Amino acid sequence: DPEIGLDYGGAHVIEDLIKGEEVELVAEAYGTDCYPLKHVETLITLDKLNQAIMVNPRNCYQNYAVAVNSTDETLYTYMGTLLPNYGNVTYSSAGELSPLINDPHFQTIGFGTRVFLCGTEGYIVGEGTQHSTEVERKHGVPTTSAGTLMLKGDMKKMNPEFLRAATMPNYGPTLYVGVGIPIPILDEDIAASTGISDEEITCKIVDYGVPRRERPVVKETNYKELKSGKIEIEGVEVPTSPLSSLKKARIIAEELKKLIEKSEFLLTSPIYRLPSRGYTLRPLEIRKPSILVRELESKPVIVTRPDENIKDVARKLVENNINHIPVVDEKGVLQGIVTSWDIADAVAKGKTSLRDVMTRRVIIAREDEPVEVVARRIDKYDISGLPIVDSNNKVKGIITAEDISRLVGKKMGRGGESI
């Protein structure tokens, strides 16, 4: 919950411990005969712990989506802050330096492979969660998220230079983990794979403005374009920025190289290779699907034009017992919105032109959005309703807080299904 505060989370606890700082520990339990205490408070450091083993269930994505936002509102995501109307592009990969890109079929990577993890030795303990192999490939490399790693390492030996806690604004804490994986050149195929360039690594720009699991692809690009700092979307030059550090990736690669050359880091053969085929990502089935905006029962929408007289608009509000009227052009395309409060304020101030009263920057709902997403938007912007538009921005209806309240009431009466 952003209202509670996001500046300090589990990632920060891990970083503080590795930096040698004390962390306050508060524990509560119900109490038993053999462990009667119900409340304990103490301070801990890594030195006071018998073991401190980091096990990361998902690391080192083999490629990933590039994020952009087509909506009129700023979005706060795990891919960083996405500005409205394709205002910026974010990505997270070292591209041609990324280990799973350099060994795309896991010929040298698997269970038991020794890796550089946060400044010390770590090990691959298997494929990571969401590991997937049955994906589109170009130049032998996945064009979207595919393989992942599960890693294990001793926190007591880690270096804070290669581990950092962070907070994604209005989203939550995250942990930056530095990983380096040695890839021995055993044959021509591996040599060819490790020679791949940023220009040959295709990735997809995905619209995070669409609140669905399957988000639309805006276009394909490559890491050469992304690392240039700008990319063209719909004829407009858009700035790009990485969430991961290419500078730190190069430092890790050089550090691992030096350790290997000094025989301080020995390579290990995997006990078994990571699965390179037969794995398909299966999203969790939702037994109670959300209701979409288009499925709501709604009355015919009442609209107005920008040049309509304020008194006539006030009459529409009263006669139809409504509090919101979308403002549209002659083709029905949304231009703005006015509320009963806007009209009352205009009358009190002697205004007669609707253009001077209407809100032009309108928060909208799409027909294919879940109602619960719209409810969050109403709460986020402290508004009481918003127009429903289609893909051409034509007004199809209006959804209000009252509509959602009635829907919630009906669902609670049926056993509390998802809205």
Query: Which residues are known to be catalytic?
Result: 34
Cα(378)–Cα(383) distance, integer angstroms:
5
At how many degrees (to 10) do helices 401-413 and 371-381 cross? 130
By the 8 A CB rule, do 167 and 312 touch?
no
Cα(401)–Cα(403) distance, integer angstroms:
5
Residue 371 tokens read as 């109602």
Cα-based angle 174, 180, 183 (whole degrees, multiple of 5): 145
Residue 78 to residues 16, 174, 285, 349: CA-CA distances in angstroms?
Answer: 22, 8, 22, 45
Residue 145 tokens read as 């998220």
- SS3 labels along 124-152: EEEECCCCCCCCCEECCEECCCCCCEEEE
State the DSSP code for 121.
Answer: E
Which uninterrupted H or E stretch holds 259? Answer: helix 246-261
Residue among 393, 390, 409, 391 at smallest CA distance from 401: 409
In this structure, is the dihedral angle defined by the CA atoms of residues 384, 388, 389 and 391, taken in order, positive or negative?
positive
